[in-house]
Amino acid sequence: MAEKIQWRTEMDDALCQGQKVGKPILLDFFNPN
Amino acid sequence: MDTVTYPESKVVRFIEENFIPLRLLSDSKPHSEKFNIKWTPTLITLSPEAQEHHRTVGFFGPEELIPSLLLGLGKYHYENDRFDEALVRLEQLVDGYGKSGSAPEAIFLVGVCSYKRSHDAKPLKAAYEKLSAAFPDNEWTKRAYPYRLL
């Protein structure tokens, strides 16, 4: 198990992976400042 | 979230097991406009077809984030008419995080999902009774108020 959340950074990549493994996407809109 | 919540091992485990985690800057167009992002953090449970099922705005500590994510998973299944899967997630929330801010909506939805699965009205009344006992002033108790007559 990863020690950190392995965030994806591209919407299309996340949606494709979600369809592939049958999981929803947790989308976090954030501000780094 | 990066300092307190996301480093928690139980949060990492829960998110990695149940979601594809995706992080976008709050001004990343076109997505920030499509989702009408006005404040951060905004967390959205999306289906793999990009349908929104649950949204929160603002900070959540670990003890509130996990039940909120369970609520998102429950609503993801409920809104796709998968009532058995929805009930698993919602009951996990109610049993494990029954005092969390997400619990009242979960109790309401347990009643609705159970009714939709069985067409028996008793779970709706049970949801109202549970809500009125545990959360007498909550908005979900008010929404369930008519079910007391069933």
Concatenate the DSSP letters of all residues of B86-136 into one string.
HHHHHHHHHHHSTTSTTHHHHHHHHHHHHHHHH--SHHHHHHHHHHHHH-T
| Residue B53 to chain A, least CA–CA distance (Å) | 10
At A3 the pLDDT is 84
pLDDT surpasses 90 at B28: yes
Structure-model confidence comparison of residues B7 and A3, the more confident one:
B7
Q: What is the DSSP string of B6-48?
A: TT-HHHHHHHHHH-EEEEEETT-TTHHHHTT--SS-EEEEE-T
> Which whole number is the average pLDDT over B123-144?
98
d(Cα B117, Cα B83) in Å, to the nearest integer? 6
Q: How many whole angstroms separate alpha carbon B102 and alpha carbon B119?
A: 25
- Residue A24: its pLDDT value, please? 98
Q: Give the pLDDT confidence score for residue B37 in this predicted structure.
A: 97
If you average pLDDT over residues B69-78, what whole number do you get?
Answer: 98
Give residue A2's pLDDT. Answer: 54
A positions 1-33 inside 8 Å of B (CB): 1-11, 14-15, 17-19, 21-32
Q: Is B73–A29 a contact, with Cβ atoms under 8 angstroms apart? A: no
Q: How close does chain B come to A6, measured CA to CA in Å?
A: 7
- For B46-67, the pLDDT digits (tens) are 999 999 999 999 999 999 999 9
**B61 contact partners, CB below 8 Å, separation of at least 6:** B4, B5
Please write the tens of the pLDDT for every residue from B74-100: 999 999 999 999 999 999 999 999 999
Q: What is the ipTM of this complex?
A: 0.94
Helix, strand, coil share (%) of chain A residues, nearest 5 = 35, 20, 45
Contact in structure between B42 and B55 (CB atoms under 8 Å): yes
Average pLDDT, chain B: 97
